[in-house]
Amino acid sequence: MKNPNERGPTPAESIATATATATAGASRPGPGPGLWRRLWLQEDLNFLLTNRIPRIAATRLMGWYAGLRSPTLTRLSIAVWRLFTDLDLSEARETRFESVQACFTRALRDGARPIDPDPRVLCSPCDAIVGACGPVRGTEVFQAKGFPYALGELFGPTQDTRPFHDGQFVTLRLTSAMYHRFHAPHDVTLEHVSHLVGDTWNVNPIALARVQRLFCRNERAVLQLRLAEGGHPLALVPVAAILVASLRLHAVDLLLHRRHPGPHEIACRHALRKGEELGWFQHGSTIIVFAPPGFRLAEGIAAGRRLRMGEPLMTLPDVDGAPVAAG
């Protein structure tokens, strides 16, 4: 009987179909970067290679490898990385790295990400591609069309999700080539962190359209924030993925990862200014932003939109509780 959580052809069919399709579309002979990227983007092959392997073991191996301090090995790794992605290091503060992890978690030059100064604007906490977004239907959220999940399952048993019922959400996907640090979307106080241990499924669109409740299965942290403007609650949910089950948070001086027993509750009271760094992923992954009723998506926010940290994501309610437009 077919597993209702996962759909797709057999591994042999996946490889054969994906390889034939990508090779037929090659613009020039030879395994250049274009061919490798086409192969990687073939849905069945991508799903097979990133989810049908021992995910947790692969993630731990990647963590060990990325931490090796070797400039030569790092240069070679970055060269291979560029075969599959559009990695651009031109904005990085440093351009030479002693480890792959140092490249993953690189800081940017000052001024590389201007922060929208409008106090009515909630800005994007990270560079990302917008995924599923829009209204929360009661307690139901969608990771992809036809693939819902419940707020309570995502947040875990200890967290109160009622402030976000019928609110707004935006899914922000960070690819492996993107800037991996994330920042405060407004002047906020970080009040609580809940860390939930889980799996390490890939969180790309291919997997989201095949695996039910994927975000609720993976390791994640729930960051409960409160805005200085109006005291509105806000939640950021960074979700780990294959090769990236590590999350660094500055406010609690803790590296969250799969070997840390959970769920783990961390009370804190840490004030941050809009745009101030909150932490980083050790690779690429996803952040889901939740806001209460009265907020609305900023103009142009829709699935597929590419955002930079600091650009408008949502607009705050006005003093009467009605949403207002930015600008």
- 35 CA to centre of own chain: 26
Q: Which two tokens stand for residue 153?
A: 């399952």
Q: Which two tokens stand for residue 42?
A: 């073939």
Question: Of 14, 176, 246, 285, which residue is the catalytic one?
Answer: 285
Question: Of 77, 99, 176, 183, which residue is the catalytic one?
Answer: 183
Q: What is the reported pTM?
A: 0.78
Residue 250: active-site member = no
Among 81, 43, 70, which Cα is nearest to 177's?
Answer: 81
Treating both helix axes as pointing N-terminal to C-terminal, what angle do 11-24 and 43-51 enclose, rounded to 10 degrees?
130
Question: Of 127, 186, 192, 194, which residue is the catalytic one?
Answer: 127
Q: How far apart are CA 128 and CA 20, in angstroms?
A: 31
Q: Which two tokens stand for residue 24?
A: 């037929």
Query: Digits of tens for pLDDT over the chain (327 positions)?
Result: 444 444 444 433 433 333 333 333 333 344 455 544 554 444 454 445 555 555 566 666 666 666 788 889 889 988 887 887 888 999 999 989 998 888 888 999 999 999 999 999 999 999 999 999 999 999 999 998 889 999 999 999 999 999 999 999 999 999 888 998 999 999 999 999 998 887 777 777 878 888 889 899 888 889 999 999 899 999 999 988 665 556 778 887 666 555 665 568 888 999 999 999 998 876 558 999 999 999 999 999 999 999 999 999 999 997 654 444 444
Q: Which two tokens stand for residue 169?
A: 């959400």
Residue 264: active-site member = no
